[in-house]
Amino acid sequence: MTDPTHKHQFIIDDLKRLEAESLLISIRTIESAADNWMVVDGQRVLNFCTNNYLGLANHPRLRAAAQQAIDRWGVGPAAVRTIAGTTALHRELEQRLAAFKGVEDALFVQSGFNANQAAIAPLVGKGDVIFSDRLNHASIIDGCRLSGAKIIVYAHCDPADAEAKIKEHLPRYRRGMLISDGVFSMDGDIAPLDGLYEVAQRYGVLTMVDDAHGEGVLGRGGRGIVDHFGLHGQFDVEVGTLSKAFGVVGGVIAGKKIIVDYIRQKARPFLFSSATTPADTAACLAAVDVLEESEDLVQKLWDNARYLRTGMDDLGFDTGHSQTPILPIMLGEAKLAKTFSRRLFEEGVFAMSIGFPTVPQGLARIRVMNTAAHSQDDLDFGLKVFAKVGRELGVIA
The contact set with ligand PLP (CB under 6 A) reads 111-113, 137, 139, 181, 185, 210, 212-213, 241, 243, 251
With CB atoms as reference, the residue minimizing the distance to ligand PLP is 112
For ligand PLP, which is the closer residue by CB, 113 or 350? 113
Q: Which of 59, 90, 213, 228 is catalytic?
A: 213
For ligand PLP, which is the closer residue by CB, 326 or 363? 326
- Tell me the residue type at 357: P
171: cis peptide before it, omega within 30°?
A: no
Cβ neighbours of residue 131 closer than 8 Å, sequence gap 6 or more: 152, 154, 162, 165, 166, 169, 176, 177, 178, 179, 200, 205
Whether residue 213 lies in the annotated active site: yes
- DSSP 3-state of 93: helix
For ligand PLP, which is the closer residue by CB, 111 or 319? 111
Q: Which of 90, 101, 228, 244 is catalytic?
A: 244
**Do you know the residue count of the chain?**
397
Whether residue 26 lies in the annotated active site: no
Backbone dihedral angles phi then psi of residue 49, each to the nearest 5 degrees: -120, -25
Query: How near is the Cβ of 383 to ligand PLP at its closest, in Å?
Result: 26
The DSSP bridge pattern shows strands 176-181 and 150-154 to be: unpaired
Query: How near is the Cβ of 53 to ligand PLP at its closest, in Å?
Result: 12
Whether residue 321 lies in the annotated active site: no
For ligand PLP, which is the closer residue by CB, 152 or 179? 179
Q: Which of 132, 180, 185, 353 is catalytic?
A: 185
- DSSP 3-state of 183: strand
Query: How near is the Cβ of 79 to ligand PLP at its closest, in Å?
Result: 21
How far apart are alpha carbons 372 and 394 in whole angstroms?
A: 31
CA quadruple 274, 275, 278, 279: dihedral positive or negative?
A: positive
Query: How near is the Cβ of 110 to ligand PLP at its closest, in Å?
Result: 8
For ligand PLP, which is the closer residue by CB, 213 or 338? 213
Query: How near is the Cβ of 113 to ligand PLP at its closest, in Å?
Result: 4
- DSSP 3-state of 200: helix
Give the active site residues.
185, 213, 244
